[in-house]
Amino acid sequence: MIPQGGAVHRFILETFAQTGRSPALEDIRSQFDLESLQDAEAMLSDLERRGSIHRNSGDPFITHAYPFSNEPTRHRVRLAAGPEVYAMCAIDALGMPFMLKQDAEIASACEQCGGDIELRISNGQIIRKAPVGIVVWYGVLEEGCVVATDLCPDLNFFCSSEHLEAWAEERTSRAGDMLTLEQALERGRQSFEKLLQDPIGL
């Protein structure tokens, strides 16, 4: 589970879902009637320490708020009741419909060959997938790593188990497992389904 960060965290996630982008410091200051941008910055710093969001060094904007990315990635999610957004990884893309309780279409690419990956999720079920043999690499979270930069880049879709195995052979230093698409969908559900439930305080 991603650490919940209260009402500010919820506002960030809902802004991503509604606009496809992260809120600016001024948006946070205005939303919560704060006295200054410094107060908004302090709140973001607290969320970053908790592991709820991530910012690139020197970036005044929220770079990542799991499952969303403010930077383009190969994982694009078209929400039924919102814009097209970028997910940080394959698991995040699969978890987004559960977090937002929306149907969604996912467009990505095989990490090995670059071939198109297309999925449609409705009522928490995969109702369309192309190609049919899609699998997902799920890396091991090593102690001290930053999920956004050290783990997420490897959590990708592959169009077949053969392509994942060929890719993994070249990266023997990274531990992980191959998940079926159904297993990956369940990981996404477990990670994000409850993320927007009952935020407490700021």
pLDDT digit string, tens, across residues 81-129: 889 999 999 999 999 999 999 999 999 999 999 999 999 999 999 999 9
Show the tokens assigned to 75. 């994982």
Name the band, by pLDDT with cuts 50, 70 and 90, for residue 15. very high
Return the CATH number of 76-192, one of 3.40.50.2020, 3.40.50.11690, 3.30.450.410, 3.40.50.300: 3.30.450.410
* Arithmetic mean of pLDDT, 136-158: 82
Show the tokens assigned to 97. 């419909």
Name the band, by pLDDT with cuts 50, 70 and 90, for residue 1. low
CA distance to 46, 64, 111, 119, 122, per residue, from 42 (Å): 6, 17, 37, 39, 38
Report for 28-32, 46-50, 51-55: range of highest mean pLDDT? 28-32
Whole-number pLDDT of residue 200: 52
DSSP state of 86: E
- pLDDT above 70 covers a percentage of the chain that reads 91
Based on DSSP, count helices (H) and strands (E) in the chain, helices before strands.
6, 10
pLDDT above 70 for 2: no
Name the band, by pLDDT with cuts 50, 70 and 90, for residue 173. low
Helix/strand/coil for 27:
helix
* Arithmetic mean of pLDDT, 38-65: 88
Helix/strand/coil for 33:
coil
**Segments making up each domain of the chain, as ranges:** 6-65, 76-192
Report for 49-58, 72-81, 134-143: range of highest mean pLDDT? 72-81
Name the band, by pLDDT with cuts 50, 70 and 90, for residue 196. confident
Q: Name residues whose C-beta falls within 8 Å of residue 65's C-beta, 6 or more positions apart in sequence.
A: 9, 12, 13, 16, 22, 52, 53, 54
pTM for the full predicted model: 0.91
CATH class (in words) of the domain with range 6-65: mainly alpha
Peptide bond connecting 131 to the previous residue in cis, omega within 30 degrees of 0: yes
* Arithmetic mean of pLDDT, 155-184: 90
Q: Name residues whose C-beta falls within 8 Å of residue 58's C-beta, 6 or more positions apart in sequence.
A: none
